[in-house]
Amino acid sequence: MKSLCLPPTRIARVSLVLCLLASIAPFSTHAGATQTATGTMTWTTLGTAAGPSLYAERSQPANLLSVDRRHWLVDCGDGALERLAALRLRAADVDTLFVTHLHMDHIGGLQALIGLRWMQNAQKPLIIYGPPGTDAVVQGLLQAMKPVARIELGHSHQRSPDDLVRVITIEGGSDLNVDGVRVRAAQNSHFDDTPGHPADNGTQSLAYRFDYNGASIGVTGDTGPSDAVAQLEHGVDLLVSEVIDVDGVVADLARAMPNMKGPMKDALIAHLRTQHLTPEAAGQLASTAGVHRLVFTHLGIVGPTDASAAKLVSEAHTTFSGDIYVAHDLDQF
């Protein structure tokens, strides 16, 4: 099927819905909660920025996976709850979170999610799936909430915030059934000291794959080139990938940090090139995996999204011949 000429539409724009299991096309609903028909999955890019830089138009990394009107988050960067509000969803409407890794730009909104679910009297615990170390992060956040809990428990709240959170630690190779959705994880290369040699830092950086009712969505998380990710995402209908314009980001950093020279600059450039995906590298990963459609988020770019979109797509098309979209916050697929 040929790609649509229109870019993914956004909230309050014309709705475009193409319900094909074998070819997931971009669409949007009118401003309101994502509506997912029975037997389908919808992916919404809530926050498309590559942290830690802040942008008015791009929130920190977060995604909404809606499965038969159940709402799950994949990462929860700062601003995620405001983006949920744009969809008329409350924190209490989310009961599952998948964390790709423990960098702050991916978990900066986690305390707000836990705290507001508690204040909104969520009926179900929040189940958090994440790499080793996620439990320590969550326990620290719950500890920080105890002064607030002491204020509130004598009034409208009868349950402790601790009662509304459960952490399940997963690692590369995990293969789970979560409410009928097959969820698999692979350790990617974001924390590699050198290619193929993960750092001994007590945790992992994960890519995920979600399969349901014959449809599949994969998310790379933050990663460099990775055979493990390509194997995990083989044949997915939609691959959601990070991307970085290394030259643009390095030039911007040089302007912001003029004293960054020599070994420090070389080490940073090496990190950006090996632990993140250039458009060409992302396209090669998608081509190797044989995916049907590629969506760029976690945008390591400078300036407005639309100013870089054509360049990102053009460079990725040198290694991948399929459909490519550069996501904005609140784009829905």
Question: pLDDT of 171-184, one tens digit each?
Answer: 999 999 999 999 99
Asked whether the predicted pLDDT for residue 185 surpasses 80, the reply is yes
**Lowest pLDDT segment from 12-26, 135-149, 259-273, 275-289:** 12-26
pLDDT tier at 17 (50, 70, 90 boundaries)? very low
CB count within 10 Å of CB 70 equals 17
Q: What is the pLDDT of residue 32?
A: 56
CATH number at residue 234: 3.60.15.10
Which three-class secondary structure state does DSSP give residue 119?
helix
Instruction: Report which DSSP code applies to 22.
Output: T
Domain that holds residue 244: 41-332
Q: What is the mean pLDDT of residues 49-77?
A: 94
CB count within 10 Å of CB 197 equals 10
Q: Is residue 22 part of a domain?
A: no
Q: Is residue 11 part of a domain?
A: no
Query: What are the tens digits of pLDDT across the range 26-59?
Result: 555 434 556 666 778 999 999 999 988 888 999 9
Q: Is residue 1 part of a domain?
A: no
Q: What is the DSSP string of 203-240?
A: ---EEEEEEETTEEEEE--S-SS-HHHHHHTTT-SEEE
Q: Which helix (H) or strand (E) holds 168?
A: strand 165-169
**Residue percentage of the chain with pLDDT more than 90:** 72
Query: Which one is predicted more confidently, 274 or 178?
Result: 178
pLDDT tier at 209 (50, 70, 90 boundaries)? very high
**Lowest pLDDT segment from 17-26, 83-92, 150-159:** 17-26
Q: Is residue 256 part of a domain?
A: yes
Instruction: Give the number of domains in the chain.
Output: 1
Q: Is residue 12 part of a domain?
A: no
Q: Is residue 161 part of a domain?
A: yes
Q: What is the pLDDT of residue 36?
A: 65
Q: What is the pLDDT of residue 69?
A: 84
Q: Which residues contact 21 (CB under 8 A, 6 or more apart)?
A: 40, 213, 214, 215, 237
Q: Is residue 294 part of a domain?
A: yes
**Average pLDDT in the chain:** 88
Asked whether the predicted pLDDT for residue 283 surpasses 70, the reply is yes
C-alpha atoms less than 13 angstroms from C-alpha of 2 in its C-beta half-sphere: 3
